[in-house]
Each structure stands twice: as C-alpha cells, then as structure tokens.
Amino acid sequence: MKNQSVIFFDIDGTLLTHDKKLPPLTKEAIFNLKEQGHLVAIATGRAPFMFEGLRKELGIDTFVSYNGQYVVLNGEVLYTNPLNSLSLEKLAKTALHRNHPIVYMDHLDMKANVPEHEYIKESIATLKIDRFPAHDPLYYKGRALYQSLLFCPEGEEKQYEQEFKDFDFVRWHPVSVDIVPKGGSKAIGIQKIVKELGLSEENVYAFGDGLNDTAMLSMVKNSVAMGNAEERVQKVAKYVTKSVEDNGIHYGLQMVGLL
C-alpha cells in the first residue's frame, strides 16, 4: 500500500476502559483502519500472554510488549532485550529482605518468588486477566526474562533506582513497579518495527495514556494522548483526544485524519 501507516495503541486506559472493556466504537475504528490497508499494532507494558485474547479479537499480530523488550512483527519475533540475570538475582535477594516480592516474567508465563503476598493479589487483580503468578523462586534461572514486577509502596522504589543501575523502574500501580532494562522503552520497540517496514515518520502514529507511554509519545511524530492521561503525559503528545470512556480512540483517529 503506497500510503500505508502503522498505528500503535497502548492497551490499559487507551484501547480498554478502566473496567477493561473494549468500546464498540474503538473496535469498529480498528477494523476500519485495517480495511484501509493500514497496519494496526499494540504497544504495551503487558506480557504477550496477557493480551492474547485482545489480539485475536482485533486480528492484530504486530506488537511491542514488555515496554519494548519483546517485539513481534506479523507474528514473528523481531527484537528482544532481556534483563541482566545476575543483577536481577541480586535485586530479588535485596527485595526479599525488605518484604518486597518479585514476579519474574518471560514471553510465556510469570512466577512469583514468594508463595503469596497481598501486594501481588491487589495489583494483578486490576489487570482482570485469567492467570495469576504461581510460586517458583528459581524461575529466573536458565531463561530470558524481559520484565519483572517489584511490589512496594509508592516512593520505596527510589532505593532500588540508586542501587541497581542496570534497570529502569516504572510504576504502574500504587504497590507495583515494572522492572525493565535500562533505557528500554516502547519507543525503541516501535523504532525496530518502523525500520523493518521502511516507513517514514509521517506514517507512524501512537496512542497512549500512561507514564510508560511518554517516551513513545515524545518520539512518534503523530502522537495522541488520551483525555484521561495525566497532564505530564498530555504535554509530550502532539494531540490530545477525548478519554477512553468517551470513545477517545475513534475521536483521535478522526482528529489525525485516519478516519
């Protein structure tokens, strides 16, 4: 397609409402884009197994997951960026002494290093997914992990930021923080896909609402922040659409001229 564009969508608070529902008008807009010949992709902090159902529902097989650490183009793995295993092992031992559990995550599953913890239950429950991390304290051994979750109250991640320079810590819940490789972001994952497709920056769009979307929205020329995004997220985007609850995707796609 001569004027094909690629449009990246965050999931939580962007494609899905805060009740994890996909608005009918959003679904209609996605299929409209595909009918026009555009490539629709997902860019999320979630693991691939956490949005498999959504991908099937929307017919999407291109995605940036784990905040840029596991990237798939047309069903094929294009790029991976695993965590430093030695540093992660050291971090996990430190966190256990502070009663801060860890969940290890690869592209297939996630396992907790403690049998149970209230913070894990509380935060994972908000994702409304059909799986919960089982206990396997040695899951980090012998496999590539693309993200982990550190469970601690707001502000307490600062001590880890000082101690573990191999990682970035991105808060997504009052008691949970994403652990990703230093410098890793959705923006890097998007760059890998765009380069492989050979598209110009004018043909790249991104929609998001969270703090982990700021790098993506800053980098993509045609960036759209959701109306429900924090002000600091909206400030880095070129456009601001309505909230996810108010059909912000459909409205935003009209705003940028794709619908």
Residues annotated as catalytic (active site), given as ranges: 10
As given in the structure block, the two tokens for residue 257 are 């001229």
- 155: which residues sit within 8 A by CB, 6+ positions away? none
- For residue 164, give the amino acid letter: F
* Strand bridging mode 6-9 / 76-80: unpaired
Q: Tokens 């609850």 map to which residue?
A: 245
Cβ atoms within 10 A of the Cβ of 89, count? 13
What 3-state class would DSSP assign to 2? coil
What 3-state class would DSSP assign to 137? coil
Extended beta strands in 76-188, E state = 76-80, 102-105, 110-112, 134-135, 147-150, 167-173, 176-181
Of 238, 259, 244, the closest CA to residue 40 belongs to 259
CA atoms within a 13 Å half-sphere pointing along the CA-CB vector of 192: 25
